[in-house]
Amino acid sequence: MQNFLQRFFKLTAAQTTIKIELIAAITSFLTMAYVVMVNPVILGATGMNVEAVFVATCLAAAFGSLLMGLLANYPIGLAPSMGLNAYFAFVVVKQLGYPWEIALGAVFCAGIAFLLLTLVGVRQWLIRMLPPALKVGIGAGIGLFLGVIALQNLHLITVEPHWTFNPAVLTHLPFWLALAGLVLIFILGRYRIHGAILLGIIAVTIIGIILKLTPFQGVFSLPPSIEPTLLALKLPDFTDIKLLMVIFTFFFVALFDNTGTLIAILLQGKFIKSDSSIPRLNQALVADSAATIAGSLLGTSTTGSYIESSAGVKAGGKTGLTAVIIGLLFLLALFFAPLARTVPSFATAPALIYVAILMMQGLRLLRRSDYTEIITALITTLAIPITFSIADGICLGVISYVILNLIIGKVRNIHPALGCLSLIFAAFLLYQHYLM
């Protein structure tokens, strides 16, 4: 077996060993494992069976990570994407009123489009077409949106029928436990302790159990049934304009989020060549596309590459063996369903806020001398949480970018396809908010 692993993953050529890859995999898994606790809570808000979502989360993460390791030979773990799971639950299902089965169908369709465009090379072209300001704004906006969801889960704010601040929550113990959990995660992260998010969730949960704020339901058990969500998706009505926009949002956000994450990790691991070419990039893109399709069939939202994998790369992970071991660890996590059920929302809220802050750090990449870029990014960032819609935020961001460049006379900055998109988005917003 050792000789097989050496040959298949080319460990010697990568100057690594099985032991190093194992340590890297455990490191990445500990930083990612919070998703098996957080994702079921978020998707459970739609009425989905929490235990089934737990199983689907573990299986989708395992499938995606194994595929990344075996196809692309990169040390990158995959799991259901934070941000898009909140969009799935709180916008598509709760705000727009679609059944979660239809939402899964939308994820499936986006995954198919994702895979087809990857195979024909359009995905790379779309990445080049979108200006950096919009890429940064979309990522930061989703982060801010995620933070709003966390504050909602703490009942500190409500957004429907209008934005309301609830100061009474400040006198509730769960709020202060959540705040303490956030501080703990920051401290652990500051000292680069692996698994900071997971440790923060566990600490708050244990205190909640001791104070009898949440019931303890056990640690180990046989995996629960996935039947309530397995193949439960329903294909959407393609004549429904709103639903088409939902599919587009799943596709659009995943496109840039997954690709951006891949590039960031590959840069960190020095996998990108001096001529900027990326070996086995198509295989990596196929892996995350196929993972989204598989996840929708299993019963979870969009699956993609996790930036937390960078922790494993820092620990020495250099080959797909790291990703394969991450996948196997997610399979092992199937036996911890009772522990996932024990975790309360005030324990997962700090994790959401922390991830939100990390996602917003992309704003630092903006060029301070380019006010068009700064304004476009800020409009996109703020529009997503204010409208409580990733789709509307992206539409407003694209439209603002085109208008700003037209005003200052920089027509050459506007890609023809982006100009066409801005007209389509303007028509969509007009139809959605004024003609319906």
Question: Looking at residues 85-91, what average pLDDT do you find?
Answer: 87
Nearest to 104 by CA among 356, 300, 341, 315: 300
The pLDDT of residue 83 is 75
Q: Is the pLDDT of residue 435 over 60?
A: no
Share of the chain above pLDDT 90, in %: 29
Q: How many CA within 13 A on the CB side of residue 54?
A: 23
Reported as a single tens digit per residue, the pLDDT across 277-318 is: 677 878 888 898 899 999 999 999 999 888 778 777 877 788
Pairing of strands 164-165, 303-305: unpaired
The pLDDT of residue 143 is 77
Mean of the per-residue pLDDT values of the chain = 84
The pLDDT of residue 197 is 77
Q: Is the pLDDT of residue 258 over 90?
A: no
The pLDDT of residue 161 is 62
Question: Looking at residues 26-40, what average pLDDT do you find?
Answer: 83
Reported as a single tens digit per residue, the pLDDT across 133-184 is: 887 887 788 778 778 878 887 888 876 667 788 888 889 999 999 999 999 9
Question: Do 173 and 344 form a contact (C-beta atoms < 8 A)?
Answer: no
Return the percent helix, strand and coil in the chain, to nearest 5.
70, 0, 25
Helix locations, 130-164, DSSP H:
132-153
Distance CA 201, CA 263 (A): 29
Using the structure block, give the residue that is written with the tokens 């369709």: 109
Using pLDDT thresholds of 50, 70 and 90, give the confidence band for residue 414. Answer: confident
Reported as a single tens digit per residue, the pLDDT across 376-398 is: 889 988 988 888 777 678 889 88
Using pLDDT thresholds of 50, 70 and 90, give the confidence band for residue 276. Answer: low
